[in-house]
Amino acid sequence: MKLLIDAGNTRVKWALHDGRDWLAQGAVTHADIATLAAVWAGYPIRSVHAASVASAAVTAALEAAAPQPVQWVRSQRDGGGVRNRYRDPSEQGADRWLAVLAARELCAGDVVVACAGTALTVEALTAEGDYLGGLILPGHALMLESLARGTANLNRMPGQVVAFPQGTQDALASGAADALCGAIERMRRRLVESTGRGPAELLLTGGDAERLAPWLAAPLRIVDNLVLMGLLKMAGES
């Protein structure tokens, strides 16, 4: 049985896979990583495969909780039928590379991969397996927090997402939605323009995927734990 771990900047997501099925999964905040040791001790785990974009303290806590040595995965130049066009893959968050690898498994055609977590990342992958690159933006919570912190008047709850906001709370909610979804839709349009083909698929994952989905133009597919799926793929090949 394999333990797969995706350590993001807000939460650690994990899952167990026995070679055929996903058996268990969970998510904890950084403060609760130590509680995972007792959970994982209940399973016959043979190997542990993990990706982290979090702090050294988080990776150390995961190594302490894991029942086997952790095999840390990093972004690569090539693999799984994908060529990474990032100038320096060692600079890139492993979660981004793994989401793209998983997208390659799920979609045969051109695809935009949006991971809505602490940050929003938006990746462009062609049918030929060219991962062209991607965007990094503040995620939904960070965007609102930065406005609350950096201004005198915007520390308030967001309202409704509407076309023409006529109050501060609606303006905040709608601004965040347009920034996040606008970035995704612009990337989707650029990918279509650069390939000259029909519409690209959109895969959406991360803790805010359900929040963003209603604001995005269809068609789109929400995939839970895309990064863990990419980890499983890499673990199988290693």
Ligand X SMILES: Nc1ncnc2c1ncn2[C@@H]1O[C@H](COP(=O)(O)OP(=O)(O)O)[C@@H](O)[C@H]1O
Nearer of residues 115 and 212 to K ion, judged by Cβ: 115
Q: Confirm or deny that 149 is annotated as ligand binding.
A: no
Please tell me the distance from the alpha carbon of residue 201 to that of residue 221, in angstroms, as a whole number: 8
> How far, in Å, CA of 144 to CA of 173, rounded?
8
Catalytic residue among 32, 95, 170, 178: 95
Residues near ligand PAZ (CB under 6 A):
8-9, 53, 91-93, 95-96, 115, 117-119, 121, 136
Q: Which window, 6-14, 96-104, 146-154, 181-189, contacts ligand X (CB under 6 A)?
A: 6-14
Considering the complex, what minimum distance in angstroms separates the CB of residue 130 from ligand X? 25
Closest among 107, 81, 110, 76 to 93, alpha carbons compared: 76
DSSP state letters, 154-220: --S------SS--SHHHHHHHHHHHHHHHHHHHHHHHHHHHHTSSPPEEEEESTTHHHHGGGSPSP-
Q: Which is nearer to ligand X, 136 or 162 (CB)?
A: 136
Q: How far apart are CA 132 and CA 180, in angstroms?
A: 20
Query: In the complex, what is the shortest distance from the CB of residue 219 to ligand X, in angstroms, rounded to a whole number?
Result: 22
115 makes contact with K ion (CB under 5 A): yes
The answer to whether 35 is annotated as binding is no
Radius of gyration, alpha carbons of the chain: 19
For residue 131, say whether it is annotated as part of any ligand binding site.
no
95 is catalytic: yes
Is 96 among the annotated ligand-binding positions? Answer: yes
Nearer residue to ligand PAZ within complex by CB, 74 or 190: 74
Q: Is residue 117 near K ion by the rule CB under 5 A? A: yes
Measure the CA–CA gap between 35 and 238, rounded to whole angstroms: 28
Assess 207 for contact with ligand X (CB under 6 A): yes
**Residues 143, 212: contact at Cβ < 8 Å?**
no
Site membership for ligand X, residue 117 (CB under 6 A): yes
Q: Is 8 annotated as a binding residue?
A: yes
Q: Residue 46 annotated as binding?
A: no
In angstroms, rounded to a whole number, what is the distance separating the alpha carbons of residues 203 and 205?
Answer: 7
Displacement of CA 54 from its chain's centroid (Å): 13
Q: Using CA atoms, how far apart are residues 233 and 101, in angstroms rounded to an integer?
A: 8
Residue 231 main-chain phi, psi, to 5 deg: -65, -40
Which of ligand PAZ, ligand X, K ion, none does residue 93 bind (CB under 5 to 8 Å by kind)? ligand PAZ
Name which of 95 and 110 has its Cβ closer to ligand PAZ.
95
Under the rule (CB under 6 A), what is the footprint of ligand X? 8-11, 117-118, 139-141, 206-208
Q: Any idea which residues carry the catalytic annotation?
A: 95
Task: Give binding residues as ranges.
Answer: 6-13, 86, 93-96, 118, 168
Residues at the interface with K ion (CB under 5 A)? 115, 117, 119, 121
